[in-house]
Each structure stands twice: as C-alpha cells, then as structure tokens.
Structure 1
Amino acid sequence: MLANYLIGLREGLEAALVVGILVAYIVKVGRRDVLRNMWFGVGIAIVGPLGIGAILTWGPYGMSFEAQETLGGTLSIVAVGLVTWMVFWMGKTARTLKNTLHSRVDSALLGAGWGIILLAALSVGREGIETSLFVWATVASVGGSWVPAAGAVLGILTAVVIEIFIYRGFVKINLGKFFTWTGVFLIVVAAGVLAYGVGDLQEAGMIPGVGRHAYDISTIIPSSSWYGTVLQGIVNFNPSPTWLQVGVWVGYIAVVGTLYVRQHRSTSPRQVTAPASAPAPARQTAAS
C-alpha cells in the first residue's frame, strides 16, 4: 500500500501542479471564460485512465492462462518503461515546465479557446495513464488485492490537498528533493515490477527459465506472513525468483540507478514556483 500511496502522491502532485499552473495563467491573462473548457479537459484526463484500469482489471478474465500471463507480463514491462521515462523527464524538464505550459496555453487560447480542452486532457492525462498502468502492475503482482489501489487513491487525494495549499500560499515544499527521492523509490519499485513481468512471461512460456530459482527463502520470509506481505506491497518482494528475474532486477537497478544519479549530479539547482496568480505564492526550490 505504501508503494502505491507514494506513486499516487507523486503522479498526483505532478498532475495537480500542471492544473495549478494552467489555472493561474488563464486567470492572469484574463480568460476566465475558458476555465470551464479547461476543467472539461481535466475531466477527460481523469475518465480515460479509469477506463483503462477497468479494462485491464476485468478484460482478461475470459482469456487462457497463457494469454493472461503474456498480457500481464507485457503490460508490466510497458508500465516500467513509462515510469522510467517519467522519472527522467521530470528531472530534465522541471525548470522549464511552467514556461512551456504558458506557451502552450497562449496557443490554445487563440480564438474561442477550445484548444484548452485538448491541452488540459493531454497534459494531465499522461500522468493518469502512467499511474493507472503502474498501479495495475503493482496490484497484479500482489495477487489483485484492492489495498494497493486504495493506497494510490489516498496518495492522489493527498496530492490534491497539497496543491491547494501550495496554490493558496499556505505551505512551502522543496519540490526538487521531493521528486528526487520519490524518483529513487520508484526506480526500486519499478525494478520489482519488471522482474514480476519477466516472471509472467516465463510462466506463459514466452521466455525460458521458469522453475530455475536462484534461491528460495519462502520458509524464512513466507509470502503469506505480514512482513512478507509488506515487503511484497512495497518493493514487489519475491522469496523465490528465477535467475533471470534476479538478473533483470539487478541490471535495471544498476543501469537506471547510475543514469539517474548522473542526471542529478550534472544538473544545476532548479527553482520551481507556485502559480503566479495564487495569493501569496509559495516559492518552491527544486534542487536536484
């Protein structure tokens, strides 16, 4: 549940910051008449990922075991790819995100301003699709329990509350450190989801090596125990992984972790500010 809470919190805060920037700039340029269009776009961005989550949850029931494992493994790998891209994208574009959105709003506001619907839907929907796929993958890896999904929902609600406080100037958050450390955590979680996806493809016969376990500590840390469940929910812990799963996990952590550390060492401190039109705007320091 903690892993999905942090996923929901991070992704939700990214989406909420985008919405806050859009609202603030639209108000600043005196186009309150298009706020309804913007919220309509945000609504589309919310409904889309929910639909994707529903399809992924109930759609595979009529499929064979091999087909379900193939679909689950493939989508888990896709989810890891999206989240990995998101982690690096946020580290690269945090400094210019506000100006980029302002420029896109200027273009979308031409004429009647209907383009703001598409802008809001795409800007927020990307975060929602990433969240739905990654949460689905983590939920599937722990046996389909509803608890991890509830954690993601709580994380998103927390992000909304935080963004409201930021917009109103009530709180200050070092967004740079927040995204940096949650990025580290997401890399660890993503490694577990990737290993789980590889295991699914092995079960489906798409990849050889099923049954060739690197080790088995299920007697020491049973999956059914409370601590086994906690580890599984946080980092997708597997007490008896195959050699390929271990290799994939270690390789992902080594490669992605190294690139992540290099990115944050090579970038200068960034500064992200709260929306300009917010009362008493709170300045956020995004030191990478």
Structure 2
Amino acid sequence: MLQTFLTGLREGLEAALVVSILLTFLVRAERRDRIVALWAGVAVAVVVSFGFGAVLHFTSASMSFEAQEAFGGFLSIVAVGFVTWMVFWMKRASRTIKGDLHQKMQSALELGAAGVFLAALLAVGREGLETALFLYPTFQAQGSGAAPAIGAVLGIGTAVVAGVFIYRGTVRMNLAAFFKFTGAALIVIAAGVLAYGVHDLQEAGIVPGLNTLAWDLQGYDVTSWYGTLVKGIFNLGPQMTVLEVITYVGYLVPTMFLFLRSPQPQPSTGEPTPVQANTASPSPQSAAVAH
C-alpha cells in the first residue's frame, strides 16, 4: 500500500499543480470562458488513464503464463525507464514549469476552446499514463489483495485535496523538498519493480538464472509485519536470484547517487518558483472560480 500510495501521491500532485497553474493563468487572463474546456480536457485525461490501466490488466489476463511473465517483465522495464526520466525531469524543470505552462496555454488560447482542451488533456494525460504504467507492475509485484489499489486511490485523493488547498492558498508547501523526498522514494520503488521485471523474464525463460539464488531465507514469514514492511517498501522477498539482486543494486546505487548529487537549476531572473506561483493566495475572482 505504501508503494502505491507514494506513487499516486507524487503523480497526482504533479497533475494537480499543472491544473492549478493553468487555471490560475486563465483566471488572471480573464478567459474564464475557457475554464470549461480546461476541465473537459482533465476529465478526458482521467478516463483515458483508467482505460489504459484496464487495457494492461485485461490484456495480460488473457495470456498464457509464459506470455504474462514476458509481458509483465518488459512492461516493468519500460515503466522504470519512464519513471526515472520523470523524476529527473521534474527536478530539472521544477523552477521553470510555471513559465513553460503559461507559454503553452497562451498558444492554446489562440486556437480557441479546442486548444485549451488539448493542452489540459496532454498535460494531465501524460501524468495519468505514467501513473497507470508504473502502478501495473507494482500491483503485479505485490500480489493479490486490495491494499495496493487502496494505496493508489488514497495517494491520488490526497494529492487532489492538497492541490485544492495549495491553489486557494490555504496550505503552503515546500514543493522542492517534497519532490526531492518522493523522487528518492520512487527510485527505491523503481529498483524493486525493475528487479521483479527481471524475475518475470526469468520465469518466461527469456533471461537465464532462475534457479541461481542469491539467498533463500527458510522460515522467513513474508506475511509478518517486518516481511510486509520490507516487501512493501523495498520489494525484497525471501527468495531472490543473483541477477535480480545485481539489477536491484546496479540500478539503485548509481541512480540515487545522481539524483541526490545533481545540482538544482537556478531560477530564471524575475520568474517565481512553482512554490511561489502555486501557494500565493488567489484573487477573489479566482477563489470564486474555484468554487
């Protein structure tokens, strides 16, 4: 549940901030007539994201065991690639995202309601598709049960509530610190997803070494509180192959080092940071729109 909660919270808050920036721009530009198109784009993006997740689930359910394992393994690798790119991109672009979105929305306004709709659809849809793509292998790795789905729903719901409070100026959040913490957490989760993907490929017979174990902890209770904690956070099990461990460590150590080591970009002159832009108290007009 913790893995999927963090994923849903991180991706959901990014989407909420994007919507907040676009909505604020429309209000301050006195283009309230385009707000309906904005929300329509957001709604379609949410539906498409859920549909994408359903397609992944039902597609794999109709496959043979070997095909399911191969599908899950390759999808895990793709998902880790996307989430790694997203984590580093967000850290690099966090101080310029407001200006970039304003420029895109200004261009979209010139195209009318359809442009605003498309801008919202693409901005929110990207986050939604990334979330669905990353949650699927996480669900597979965690096994049966409703806890992963509940965690994802709680994370997204928390992000939506936080986004509303931030837009209205009720809550002030250090977004740079938040994204740094959740980015590091996602890297740990991604390492486990990548290792599990390698295991799936071993199960499918595509990658060798299925019987070459790094450890086999007899008597280890995976359902105990400590077993659940280790599995839920680090995705480490009582049996792991040598290649799984090498993959896990080989991804986690250099990626985490680069993420924590890479310097923050300097904000552009005169351009407020996303924290300033999204935590500023809205005008009475924008507050009325929020209702």
In structure 2, what is the equivalent of residue 284 of structure 1?
A: none
Q: Is the 8 A contact 2:92 2:264 kept in 1?
A: no
Structure 1 residue 262: Cα displacement: 2.2
In structure 2, what is the equivalent of residue 141 of structure 1?
A: 141
Matched ranges for 1:83-232 at <5 A: 83-219=83-219, 221-232=220-231
Structure 1 residue 108: Cα displacement: 0.4
Structure 1 residue 218: Cα displacement: 4.4
Aligned counterparts of 1:152 and 1:111: Cα–Cα separation in 2: 35
Aligned counterparts of 1:201 and 1:50: Cα–Cα separation in 2: 26
Distance change >3 Å, CA 120–CA 208, structure 1 → 2: same
Aligned counterparts of 1:116 and 1:185: Cα–Cα separation in 2: 33
In structure 2, what is the equivalent of residue 70 of structure 1?
A: 70
Matched ranges for 1:259-274 at <5 A: 259-263=258-262, 265=263, 267-268=265-266, 271-272=273-274, 273-274=276-277
Q: Is the 8 A contact 1:41 1:120 kept in 2?
A: yes
Aligned counterparts of 2:218 and 2:56: Cα–Cα separation in 1: 29
Aligned counterparts of 1:94 and 1:225: Cα–Cα separation in 2: 40
Structure 1 residue 113: Cα displacement: 2.9
Distance change >3 Å, CA 193–CA 218, structure 1 → 2: farther
RMSD over aligned CA atoms reads 1.7
Matched ranges for 1:11-26 at <5 A: 11-26=11-26
Amino acid at match of 1:237: L
Identity of aligned residues (%): 52
Aligned counterparts of 1:279 and 1:266: Cα–Cα separation in 2: 31
SS of residue matched to 1:63: coil
Aligned counterparts of 1:218 and 1:59: Cα–Cα separation in 2: 35
Distance change >3 Å, CA 218–CA 138, structure 1 → 2: farther
Aligned counterparts of 1:23 and 1:36: Cα–Cα separation in 2: 10
What does the per-residue CA deviation read over 1:155-183, in whole Å, with 9 as the maximum and x for residues that have no partner?
11111111111111111110000000111
Aligned counterparts of 2:242 and 2:277: Cα–Cα separation in 1: 47
Q: Is the 8 A contact 1:201 1:207 kept in 2?
A: yes
In structure 2, what is the equivalent of residue 258 of structure 1?
A: 257
User: Which of structure 1's runs of 4+ aligned residues deviate more than 4 A?
Assistant: none
What does the per-residue CA deviation read over 1:104-126, in whole Å, with 9 as the maximum and x for residues that have no partner?
00100014331111110110111
Structure 1 residue 88: Cα displacement: 0.2
Aligned counterparts of 2:155 and 2:133: Cα–Cα separation in 1: 16
Unaligned runs of 5+ in 1: 281-288
Q: Is the 8 A contact 1:168 1:279 kept in 2?
A: no
What does the per-residue CA deviation read over 1:162-208, in whole Å, with 9 as the maximum and x for residues that have no partner?
11111111111100000001111110110000000000000001101
SS of residue matched to 1:78: helix
Task: Indicate the larger mover: 125-134 or 143-152.
Answer: 143-152
Q: Identify which of 266, 276, 282 aligns with 1:278.
A: 282
SS of residue matched to 1:241: strand
Task: Indicate the larger mover: 94-103 or 108-117.
Answer: 108-117
Distance change >3 Å, CA 266–CA 99, structure 1 → 2: closer
In structure 2, what is the equivalent of residue 81 of structure 1?
A: 81
Structure 1 residue 12: Cα displacement: 0.5
In structure 2, what is the equivalent of residue 27 of structure 1?
A: 27
Structure 1 residue 229: Cα displacement: 2.4
Q: Is the 8 A contact 2:96 2:273 kept in 1?
A: no
TM-score, reference length from structure 1: 0.92
Number of corresponding residues = 278
Amino acid at match of 1:232: K
Unaligned runs of 5+ in 2: 285-291
Amino acid at match of 2:282: A
Structure 1 residue 266: Cα displacement: 5.3
